[in-house]
Each structure stands twice: as C-alpha cells, then as structure tokens.
Amino acid sequence: MTDGERTQWEVVAQALEETGDYRIVRKLHEVERYTEPDGEPVQLGLVLDTETTGLDAQVDDVIELGMVLFEYAPSTGRVYRIVDAFDELRDPGRHIPAEITALTHITDDMVQGHHVDAAAVEAFASRATLVISHNAAFDRPFVEKQWDVFARKPWGCSMSQVQWHDEGVGTQKQELIALCLGFFYEAHRAENDCRALLHILAGTLPLSGRPVLKPLLDHAAADDAHIWAVGAPFEAKDLLRMRGYRFNNGTNGKPKAWHITVMAEELDAELAFLDGVYGENARSRVRIDMTSPLDRFSSRA
C-alpha cells in the first residue's frame, strides 16, 4: 500500500469512527520514535519476550529471545524512542513440540544450529536500568537460566503491575490489550511481541489518561509484600476472591491458603482488610514474604 492509499483509507477510517458506530483497529507498523525529547532526564529500559518449548522453566528451553532497548523518562513515564533491537533463534537441542510450532511457526529446521551469543546478550541487556516483560513471572526464570545478566536487573511486569481492570480493560492478555487500545500485530514471535508491548507502554491508559508506563515504574521501584492468608475462614472465600486473592492448594510446597501480592506501601491497608476477615489482628495469623525489585518474578523469590 502506498502512502497516498494509506492516507485515503485513514480518512475513511476516521469518518467511520466519528459516527460512533464503529471502532477501527489498525495494524502496528514499526515505530522508531514516539516523542521528541523534552528536557527530562532519561534512562534506558528493556522490553523482553521469549518463545519457549513449553511452560516449565525447569525443563523447557528458550527457542527465541527478543529484546528492544528504549529511552524513557522515569519521572513521567514518557517513552521517547527505540535505541536498539535484538532477536535471535536458539536450538534447544531437541524436538520443538507441535503445539509450539503451531503457535509460533518456529520449526526444528529454523532453529537448527542456532545459538544465542551470551556475550552479545550481556552487552545488550547491561545497558538497561529495568527489564520489562508481559508476564515477567514466566519470562524471567527462563532467561535467568541461560544468561546471568537478567539476575542482576530489577524487573517490571506490564501484566500484573498495571491495573488494567481499573482502566476499563477487562483482560490481561497482551494481544487483547492491544485490540482494546486500537491496534493489532503478528503475535508469538519475540521481537514482534516486544515492539507491540512497547507500543502499549508508550500509550495512555483509557480512563485516567496517564502514560501506561508510569504506574509500572512506580510499582517496579517498590518492594512487594506477598500475603498468605493462612487459615482464613471458609465463609470469607468469596470476599477474598473479589478482593483479588487466589487460592493455592499447597501441592507446590507453598502454603495452602488464599494469597495476594501488594506493594509494600499498601501492606498496612491490606492487613486492616484482613483484620475484618479474621475478626482479630491479622498480622499474627498471616504469612508475609517481602520481595525486592531485584528478586521479583525470579525463581529465587
């Protein structure tokens, strides 16, 4: 499509949107610069995505590593430009399951003999002050297993550290968030997912109008408190679920209890809520695990 044709179709799209009867979802094209410098101090962030042979970091392996290095203002959350990009396939040394190939279109032949240079990953990632992934609890254990640099960086998660529900976005899935924000892309290839995530982070939240990156930065800089509501009354289960607690059945070596993760500054308010659940001082009943940004989302935590 030529620029002229794209302009004509954009006029049609805008006219449809203005009727109020249509919403237009646009294809994401590569963006190198989002905002011009405005004098704010800047840092470099790293958006990361992996494609893997499965879901278990202990037994499965990375087959593609994507990273995008970008410039942002910590004080405002504004994203300025993409500085560099990295995408490499990796041979896991075994057959890629058919369901993974169906999802990613990555085949055994594509990865055969490919190795990701550890020194190149170290040089690329060491430039960033923060690593961001959509579902960092999935990606971080995988990359830490292969490349030590990721164990030395603080991490943020665009899935769990942005309150999408409060902004009227009823999903945490990256592809669906993109659709809610008006664009689509070819998902499940690492660099594509990285660029799409950065496009999300460079936008604004639908209701508050804040830069998407800002609440993530605020959360990523703080410690987390993981609360295990051990022995919570059975009749409180619906109340806990509505509050955002999830139930762990205890088979994974962790407590059999309802649990939630909050920022350290929110701990007192959460304990006050649990006082009502237990009918007494909750602090004496619950287990609290504190996690720093350097350990967050890591298998060490």
Convert the pLDDT of each residue in 72-115 to its tens digit. 999 999 999 999 999 999 999 999 999 999 999 999 999 999 99
Question: Tokens representing 14?
Answer: 């805008």
Q: What is the pLDDT of residue 5?
A: 77
The sign of the torsion formed by the CA atoms of 112, 117, 120, 122 equals positive
Q: What is the pLDDT of residues 27-80, one digit of tens each?
A: 999 999 999 999 999 999 999 999 999 999 999 999 999 999 999 999 999 999
Place of tokens 């609440």: 215
The dihedrals phi and psi of 227, each to the nearest 5 degrees, come to: -105, 125
- Compare 221 and 68 and report the one with higher pLDDT: 68
Rounded CA-CA distance 94/101 in Å is: 13
pLDDT value at 252 more than 90: no
**This prediction's pTM:** 0.88
pLDDT tens-digit series, residues 259-286 = 999 989 999 999 999 999 999 899 999 9
Q: Token pair for residue 169?
A: 């976005």
Task: Count CB-CB contacts under 10 A for residue 64.
Answer: 23
Q: Which pLDDT score is estimated for 4?
A: 77
pLDDT over 70 at 253, yes or no:
yes
Q: DSSP letter string over the chain?
A: --HHHHHHHHHHHHHHHHTTS----EEPPP-SBSS---S---EEEEEEEEEESSS-TTT--EEEEEEEEEEE-TTT--EEEEEEEEEEE---SSPPPHHHHHHH---HHHHTT----HHHHHHHHTT-SEEEETTHHHHHHHHHHH-GGGGGS-EEETTTSS-TGGGT-----HHHHHHHTTEE---SSHHHHHHHHHHHHTSB-TTT--BTHHHHHHHHTS-EEEEEETT--GGGHHHHHHHT-EEE-STTSS-SEEEEEEEGGGHHHHHHHHHHHHTS-GGGTSEEEEE-TTTTTSTT-
Residue 301: per-residue pLDDT = 66
